[in-house]
Structure 1
């Protein structure tokens, strides 16, 4: 029994990891009152920049860092438009996704079809020797472990630190936060940059670790799923974390079902993770009280000092 469950568990953790990064980054962004619909484009840019860096240098962590910086540059452009110039957040986010996707396709065109040969991780080899947990940890990349640390860090930051309380206050009542001296604009910039950085890491993970290749359409809507997961989680890190693995599990389930020869069209099986996400969102959105209690009151609304 364990020999059958373990591969599914490991595959679920691997598939859900990019969504953990992207969704937790977006959660922090939205907690500050900014709705970033450009996550998909930022993930695409992060994925292609990481792949090019890895092909050129062979340095994994340098590739992850460049992906973070590239996605943060897009997040900065987004912040200038929506925070400083108070442009419509949804429209600018969609424009960023279109730009990021097109830019990624353009600069990654000559790398389509190439693959990365990943060397076995020394850290994973060491982790495999840990009693009981080693059988799982040894088969996971360190970036998967870091996503767990990210979840713990985001939860602790938002609910156990003064700065997390300030971020939540800015998302709930920016005018009140400004009136007592908090730099609302700076806080929203920083939270959006953090969200962009995590989208970059998510993209890097997909192109370097998860698939080890670059091709157009590699992100396959995961950026949109990450935004949806924040709503699914009702802006709570723990639910966001579990939701990412729910999607990962649905992705793996359809792969195992196809390999088992279940007589359903492959297109329907491939759509299963997205159908699951939509179904969960519909069920969650029916509880209007739950949504009102958790959604940041100023989400998507521009801040005007003195307004």
Structure 2
């Protein structure tokens, strides 16, 4: 039972950045904007979390900075895609490349080192007395980051907005028939800007989890493909908040399994590849079967 609790706890911990990354894709792409830059925004969020925590001596400052900077990048991303009508996939690749180079340069500028930063103040884990001792579900309440609970709240909030509000109804319609929605007098691009800023802020938050909650320092390229896993989870989950969360959990299970296969008679390189192989298999066999927003990548004047 201890092994099961540990596996569940580890899966929950590893799921946070993947599910938040998936949610970014869901938010942006349900409105028709392709968001391939999740990986890069998460990486900048991870750096901002560590830098803000280091500069202010407070992990909370790192959280705020990562959210603000992520939202700003989301806005700039939207400017390129919506106002200047740049190719959305190219913008996403550009953001990812920029993030890798920018964070490496700033790491050297701030800490005068390469590869990783100094230790910074981090977010403490939470244990709920009583509930943490319950078999199986106790793993959800023992030594877990506040980010985990925030993640579930964010998923729930997005679901409510998408399916229980007029804003969400209009926004989902924008992802399928933007010209028809615009003809009805809805400011399509304004909705998309709001969505992109929100998606960027969540991606920044996801990145800060890696640097000031799961760890207490920034490491070059520490997102390690989690943003791309999030995008795959978004597709696997059918561009729906709850579906993205469930798919993100599947990828987190694959990541957690690595730690239990290290003693098996399997080359370590294959063990390390497991989460990425699962991602590719899901995209190969599931990606063709799910139906995305009909106007994905299409703009209006």
Question: TM-score band, normalised by the shorter chain?
Answer: over 0.9
Query: Could you tell me which residue of structure 2 aligns to residue 148 of structure 1?
Result: 152
TM-score by length of 1: 0.91
What is the SS of the residue equivalent to 2:297? coil
Q: Aligned in 2, Cα 1:227/1:62: closer, same or farther, shift over 3 Å?
A: same
Structure 1 range deviating more: 201-210 or 136-145 = 136-145
Task: From 257, 263, 266, give the equivalent of 2:265.
Answer: 263
What is the rounded CA distance, in whole Å, between the counterparts of 1:93 and 1:155 in structure 2?
25
Query: Could you tell me which residue of structure 1 aligns to residue 246 of structure 2?
Result: 242
After TM superposition, the structure 1 = structure 2 runs for residues 135-284 of structure 1, keeping only pairs within 5 Å, are: 136-258=140-262, 261-284=263-286
1:16/1:245 contact within 8 Å kept: yes
What is the rounded CA distance, in whole Å, between the counterparts of 1:201 and 1:237 in structure 2?
17
1:128/1:134 contact within 8 Å kept: no
Structure 1 position 134, deviation (Å): 5.3
What is the rounded CA distance, in whole Å, between the counterparts of 2:237 and 2:48 in structure 1?
30
1:128/1:135 contact within 8 Å kept: no
What is the rounded CA distance, in whole Å, between the counterparts of 1:206 and 1:119 in structure 2?
11
Structure 1 range deviating more: 19-28 or 201-210 = 19-28
Structure 1 range deviating more: 137-146 or 109-118 = 109-118
What is the rounded CA distance, in whole Å, between the counterparts of 1:117 and 1:72 in structure 2?
23
Structure 1 position 188, deviation (Å): 0.5
What is the rounded CA distance, in whole Å, between the counterparts of 1:297 and 1:66 in structure 2?
35
What is the SS of the residue equivalent to 1:256? coil
Task: From 277, 292, 295, give the equivalent of 1:298.
Answer: 295
Structure 1 position 128, deviation (Å): 2.9
After TM superposition, the structure 1 = structure 2 runs for residues 52-201 of structure 1, keeping only pairs within 5 Å, are: 52-109=51-108, 110=111, 112-116=116-120, 118=122, 120-121=124-125, 124-125=126-127, 127-130=128-131, 132=134, 136-201=140-205
Q: Aligned in 2, Cα 1:135/1:82: closer, same or farther, shift over 3 Å?
A: closer
Q: Aligned in 2, Cα 1:105/1:151: closer, same or farther, shift over 3 Å?
A: same
2:36/2:89 contact within 8 Å kept: yes
* Unpaired runs of at least 5, structure 2: none
2:9/2:139 contact within 8 Å kept: no
What is the rounded CA distance, in whole Å, between the counterparts of 2:180 and 2:60 in structure 1?
41
What is the rounded CA distance, in whole Å, between the counterparts of 1:113 and 1:8 in structure 2?
29
Deviations 1:121-169 (A, max 9, x none): 4xx24x2344735553131111110101111111111111111101101
How many aligned residue pairs are there? Answer: 293
1:67/1:200 contact within 8 Å kept: yes
TM-score by length of 2: 0.92
Structure 1 position 248, deviation (Å): 1.2
Structure 1 position 285, deviation (Å): 2.8
2:58/2:121 contact within 8 Å kept: no
Question: In angstroms, what is the RMSD of aligned CA positions?
Answer: 1.6
What is the SS of the residue equivalent to 2:260? helix
What is the rounded CA distance, in whole Å, between the counterparts of 1:167 and 1:157 in structure 2?
10
